[in-house]
A and B are shown apart, each in its own frame.
Chain A
Amino acid sequence: MRDLKLALRQVWYINNAFVRNPASLFFTLVFPLMFLVIFTVIFGNGHVLIAPGKTVRVATFYVPSIAAFSVITACYTNIAISLSFSRDSGALKRIHGSPLPVWSYMLARILHAVSIAILLVVICAVFGAVLYGATLPTTTLPAFALTVVVGAAVFSALGVAVTAVIPNADASPAVVNATILPLLFISNVFIPLQNPSGWIDVLGKIFPVRHFADALIGSFFQLSGAGLHTNDLLVLGAWGVAGLVLGVRFFQWEPRT
């Protein structure tokens, strides 16, 4: 109980540092909205007939895509890069030398990232609804919320795990982008894929990004049912567990070089 309180307290300090860092604030909060604007400008925001007598704006499809991107940025990208910087500066080593339990610290990092992700998704949805007339989920809202939280936790765990292959802080943006950008392009996030060709389809099915995007888009907008994409969530969960195990096994508290 005391350790959980320590973790929540740590979230407060992590958040203080986060909001005072202009670069991290800008890239995490503004970047996704920028993409939403760009997409609606480039691809238009017309009406789509989705069922007899029922149309929605195209933005209704952009919003969950950008929400998926937001979650990945806030969790995977943000955690991997900021942990790398903390590791290089010696801040992690100092934490490790203190009595703060390791899991309290990691939980705090993940809780903070998940909170930022949720905030971003809300901003994204409100922005899309108000400016572009996107239709927001109603009956599928619980499924959508669950998918956001699961995805945020999974990509946080993966963000922690990937630091094991990041040699130093300067290299962290390169490693993070090299691992995530290609996946974003082949996973229904930036570009909707109609019948993707063989290997792209296979890669998309192996890696977690497309499962997350599909589950999020599917639960944001669905004509009937609860919108819960159980299979996608299970694959995501498996990645989360893998990330957690690898993170615990290979995490480094001291600069690697």
Chain B
Amino acid sequence: MAATAVEVEDLRKSYGAVQALRGVSFTVAEGEVFALLGPNGAGKTSTVEILEGFRRRDGGRASVLGFDPASGSRRLKEQMGIVLQTSGVDPYLTVAETVDMFRGYYPKPRPRDEVIRLVGLQDKRDSRVTKLSGGQRRRLDVAIALAGDPQLLFLDEPTTGFDPGARRNAWEVIKGLAGLGKTIFLTSHSMDEVQYLADRVVIIAAGKVVAEGTPDTLAGRQHASTVVRFRMPASVTLPEAIRGSARLEGNAVELETKDPTRTLYELTSWAVQAGIALEGLQVTRPSLEDIYLEITKEPEGAPA
């Protein structure tokens, strides 16, 4: 088993009477892309900011690269890169100056132009921060986080507000960093992002861990039923083998199956022989988003 980059046990945090974290535990292995998910107010940011050293925990244990994050240890900070949800950099400095300024704080920084190229800002190298678009500023945030060549990278909703192309680029950058053996601690509201990047996912809701697993196996996703949808004339009758699992609504049909290969075979061989076109044929497995929504659903009648 790989060494542990982050370890959290029974983490607790309250703001006045509000319990933001009620005993959160998880571990992140070195070199892993780890995603912490949860609805707004679930305690994601509290957890991340405790690990980054911005907040103090009220109880429980936390260890980041072997350090207590509450210690504010400089040696810990030298190995960490942080992309905060809201960014702030001096608007009157240029991209190159900003990256250089932060590089100076670290003992073994990455070369400046390499960092700038990595986030695709080479054309904006000498532009002032005021002249950057929102997406470009976010990329500068990532560049600053990379300046010190960190072992562990915290990315708090790193691609919020990106256009699809920029998002795809950012994903490739993150994948590349993971390929270099960096540990990546991600929070996100984009399930596509998590599906694409994360090795492991922890979902928290109301300050507690409610699910944990890989994106493909979270909450038994691999065992969940596949749904086959199509339309056919109302006058035809489905073959006996699949009739039982079918739900009909006018001419729309929905089949739920645990054995999609067989079901599809039965369905399509019947349709081809009978000369029936199955309009809008679709096979879907529950997406990570479906699973996520199911897990984090507020119980009926619960106060919001």
Does residue B221 face the partner (Cβ distance < 8 Å to A)? no
Does residue B90 face the partner (Cβ distance < 8 Å to A)? yes
Does residue B303 face the partner (Cβ distance < 8 Å to A)? no
Given A6-B105, A16-B93, A21-B92, the answer on whether A96 and B54 have CB atoms closer than 8 Å is: yes
Question: In chain B, residues 86-131, which have Cβ atoms closer than 8 Å to a Cβ of chain A?
Answer: 86-93, 97, 101-102, 104-106, 128
Given A16-B93, A21-B92, the answer on whether A99 and B78 have CB atoms closer than 8 Å is: yes
Q: How far is the CA of A114 from the CA of B250 in the complex (A)?
A: 81
Q: How far is the CA of A193 from the CA of B46 in the complex (A)?
A: 55
Give the residue of A6, A17, A94, A100 whose beta carbon is less than 8 angstroms from that of B87.
A94
Give chain A residues whose Cβ lies under 8 Å from the Cβ of B86.
90
Consensus secondary structure, chain A interface: helix
Give chain B residues whose Cβ lies under 8 Å from the Cβ of A16.
92-93, 97
Give the residue of B80, B84, B93 whose beta carbon is less than 8 angstroms from that of A90.
B84
Given A6-B105, A94-B144, A98-B105, the answer on whether A17 and B92 have CB atoms closer than 8 Å is: yes
Give chain A residues whose Cβ lies under 8 Å from the Cβ of B88.
86, 88-94
Does residue A31 face the partner (Cβ distance < 8 Å to B)? no
**A171: shortest Cβ distance to chain B, in Å?**
18
Greatest chain A CB density within 10 A among B82, B86, B105 is at B105
Does residue A20 face the partner (Cβ distance < 8 Å to B)? yes
Cβ A99 vs Cβ B54 within 8 A? no
Give chain B residues whose Cβ lies under 8 Å from the Cβ of A86.
88, 90
**B31: shortest Cβ distance to chain A, in Å?**
22
**A151: shortest Cβ distance to chain B, in Å?**
27
Does residue A13 face the partner (Cβ distance < 8 Å to B)? yes
Q: How far is the CA of A67 from the CA of B252 in the complex (A)?
A: 84
Give chain B residues whose Cβ lies under 8 Å from the Cβ of A10.
101
Question: In chain A, residues 68-101, which have Cβ atoms closer than 8 Å to a Cβ of chain B?
Answer: 86, 88-94, 96-101
Cβ B105 vs Cβ A254 within 8 A? no
Chain B residue total in the interface (Cβ 8 A): 26
Give chain B residues whose Cβ lies under 8 Å from the Cβ of A9.
101, 104
Cβ A97 vs Cβ B97 within 8 A? no
Does residue B77 face the partner (Cβ distance < 8 Å to A)? yes
Given A97-B53, A97-B82, A99-B148, the answer on whether A20 and B128 have CB atoms closer than 8 Å is: yes
Cβ A13 vs Cβ B105 within 8 A? no
Give chain B residues whose Cβ lies under 8 Å from the Cβ of A88.
88
Cβ B84 vs Cβ A94 within 8 A? yes
Given A99-B74, A99-B148, the answer on whether A13 and B93 have CB atoms closer than 8 Å is: yes
A to B contact number (C-beta, < 8 Å): 64
Give chain A residues whose Cβ lies under 8 Å from the Cβ of B87.
90, 94
Question: In chain B, residues 147-164, which have Cβ atoms closer than 8 Å to a Cβ of chain A?
Answer: 148
Does residue B32 face the partner (Cβ distance < 8 Å to A)? no
For A82, the closest partner residue in chain B by CB is: B90
Does residue B52 face the partner (Cβ distance < 8 Å to A)? yes
Give chain B residues whose Cβ lies under 8 Å from the Cβ of A100.
105
**A249: shortest Cβ distance to chain B, in Å?**
16
**A204: shortest Cβ distance to chain B, in Å?**
38
Q: How far is the CA of A94 from the CA of B91 in the complex (A)?
A: 14
Q: How far is the CA of A220 from the CA of B101 in the complex (A)?
A: 40
Give the residue of A91, A92, A99 whose beta carbon is less than 8 angstroms from that of B105.
A99
Cβ B84 vs Cβ A93 within 8 A? yes
Q: How far is the CA of A90 from the CA of B78 in the complex (A)?
A: 20
Cβ A97 vs Cβ B77 within 8 A? yes
Greatest chain A CB density within 10 A among B74, B84, B87, B92 is at B92
Cβ B104 vs Cβ A6 within 8 A? yes
Cβ A97 vs Cβ B54 within 8 A? yes
**A25: shortest Cβ distance to chain B, in Å?**
11
Give chain A residues whose Cβ lies under 8 Å from the Cβ of B92.
16-18, 20-21
For A97, the closest partner residue in chain B by CB is: B82
Q: How far is the CA of A96 from the CA of B82 in the complex (A)?
A: 11
Cβ B97 vs Cβ A99 within 8 A? no
Q: How far is the CA of A10 from the CA of B148 in the complex (A)?
A: 17
Q: How far is the CA of A246 from the CA of B30 in the complex (A)?
A: 41
Cβ A13 vs Cβ B54 within 8 A? no
Cβ A17 vs Cβ B90 within 8 A? yes
Q: How far is the CA of A99 from the CA of B150 in the complex (A)?
A: 12
Greatest chain B CB density within 10 A among A10, A86, A88, A100 is at A100
Q: How far is the CA of A6 from the CA of B101 in the complex (A)?
A: 10
Interchain residue pairs A-B with the least CB separation, the first 6: A90-B88, A89-B88, A91-B88, A20-B92, A99-B77, A17-B92
25 contacts between A and B (CB under 8 A): A13-B97, A16-B92, A17-B92, A18-B92, A20-B92, A86-B88, A88-B88, A89-B88, A89-B89, A90-B84, A93-B54, A93-B84, A94-B84, A94-B87, A94-B89, A97-B52, A97-B77, A98-B102, A98-B105, A98-B148, A99-B74, A99-B77, A99-B78, A99-B106, A101-B74
Q: A17-B93, A99-B78 are in contact. List 15 more A-B contacts (CB 8 A).
A: A6-B105, A9-B101, A10-B101, A17-B92, A86-B90, A89-B89, A89-B91, A90-B84, A90-B86, A90-B87, A93-B84, A93-B88, A94-B84, A98-B148, A99-B105
